Amino acid sequence: MRRIRANAIAILTVAWILGTFYYLWQDNKPHTSSPSSASQPRVGDSRSHAGRPDIHRDDNHRTIPLIVTQSPRVEPQQGQLIGSFDEKAYLLGKQLKAGDDPYRDHAFNLAESDRLGSERAIRDTRHYRCASVNYDANLPPTSIIITFHNEARSTLLRTIKSVLMRSPPSLIQEIILIDDFSTDPEDCQLLSQIPKVRCLRNGRREGLIRSRVRGAGAASASILTFLDSHCEVNTDWLQPMIQRVKERGLTVTDSLPPVLSPFLTRGLTVAGF
């Protein structure tokens, strides 16, 4: 009996090891695409995708086929998105002073964030097969809720403008900023001059969850989207999530965003939990 049990354990161990090696081999196996799959137009974008499949190797040495554009592109009509908002004056009000440590307050390079501006072009880092996915033309709009406390102005503004620049206007009902009792109320109040942006300020520190709950209570759309105050969205980031909500009703969807390096110059790994 003991011998049978020992043999069974040995067989299961070998099978587990072989299965692990097979999984790793499949994970590292490069993918190929059909010539027609990357050329189909997307809803909300009349242009055919000009990218080509490319094999990218991440920090774990896995090969990931990505879309590669000839040059990073900035979406059109960006100047029409902020209305009468004085972006230059807003950013000059909180610029890093000479001699200050750029990492002291935010744990990232504030000097580099200020230098990048609010409309930097970013590489399309989706899997190449995403270009062939079509979404419904009548997707419902969403309220985007962003909470922050003493966020860098350049970073917060870049988050908002990336949402406005890379989202179909019909899908953005509003952007609700929850200022969790920042030192300077104008960090949020001035941003309310941007069309579709609302500013709500807490009377005391409430924390992330209570601030998001307040934003959810103030939202007017039936779909809620929560974002951090220091992120940048990419091409077609919103449609896949809203499509799933429309198809399945009470659904929570999540994206896997690349993590920005503290130097703000490139993406590092794919975040998730």
* Tens digit of each residue's pLDDT (9 = 90 or more) over 94-131: 888 888 999 998 888 999 999 988 888 888 878 888 88
Predicted TM-score (pTM) of the model is 0.71
pLDDT class of 32 with cuts at 50, 70, 90? very low
The pair of structure tokens assigned to 273 is 């939990």
Instruction: Determine phi and psi for 127, rounding to 5 degrees.
Output: -60, 140
Determine the residue type at 247.
E
The mean-pLDDT minimum among 2-16, 58-72, 159-173, 188-202 falls in 58-72
What per-residue confidence (pLDDT) applies to 239? 96
Q: Which of 247, 225, 223 is nearest to 237 (CA)?
A: 225
255: helix, strand or coil: coil
Bridge partners, residue 68, by sequence: 52
pLDDT class of 70 with cuts at 50, 70, 90? very low
Total count of residues recorded for the chain: 273
Question: What are the chain's domains?
Answer: 78-121+135-265 (3.90.550.10)
225: helix, strand or coil: strand
Q: Name the burial class of residue 264, with classes exposed (0-12), middle (13-18) and buried (19+) by CB atoms within 10 angstroms of its CB.
A: buried
Residue 223: is its pLDDT beyond 70? Answer: yes
What per-residue confidence (pLDDT) applies to 41? 38
